Amino acid sequence: MSTETSVAHEADWTRVRSAVCNRWPQISEEELSKCPNEAEWMIEFVKGRVDTSRDEIESVVREFAPQESMADRLSHTAEDSVRKASESARFAVMRADECIAERPTQSVLASFVAGALVGVTVTALWCRQNREPSRWEHFKTRTWG
């Protein structure tokens, strides 16, 4: 990004911050300056500080925010999806740790049974795939010439 473009971009975001501060005076421009220059981040930041619907916040921010390219929007969407997935995975791991700490004996037994079932299933599938043909199958395939 060239210097002129970055200055114009920063001016656009200064305008967004001013619009947000005018709409919600309880938020200072100093607080908003900590927020990255991205519409989704700004919306989430404001949503955490005011008791207003997301749609209203989004309309104010998007009205004054510079237009993002399709690549920027896809990038932000991907980042948000990864962030939400990592938060969910982190929560699931924490919950699993809690369950194991609360019931260690049952956890070990459940893991043993699950492992045994997976082992039996894999062994059965492998044996079925590599089984020898029966005598009848040998007899059926013979040609009498």
State how far the Cα of 27 lies from the Cα of 21, in Å rounded to an integer.
6
Quick one: average pLDDT of 101-107? Answer: 92
First to last CA, the chain: 82
What is the structure's pLDDT at 28? 84
**Confidence band of 104 (pLDDT split at 50, 70, 90):** very high
What is the structure's pLDDT at 34? 81
Of all residues in the chain, the percent with pLDDT exceeding 90 is 26
pTM of the entire predicted model: 0.42
**Confidence band of 120 (pLDDT split at 50, 70, 90):** very high
Q: From residue 100, how far is each of 87, 91, 108, 113 by CA, in Å?
A: 20, 14, 8, 15
36-95, pLDDT tens digit by residue?
Answer: 878 888 888 888 888 888 888 888 888 877 776 677 778 878 888 999 999 999 999 999
So where are the chain's domains? 1-73
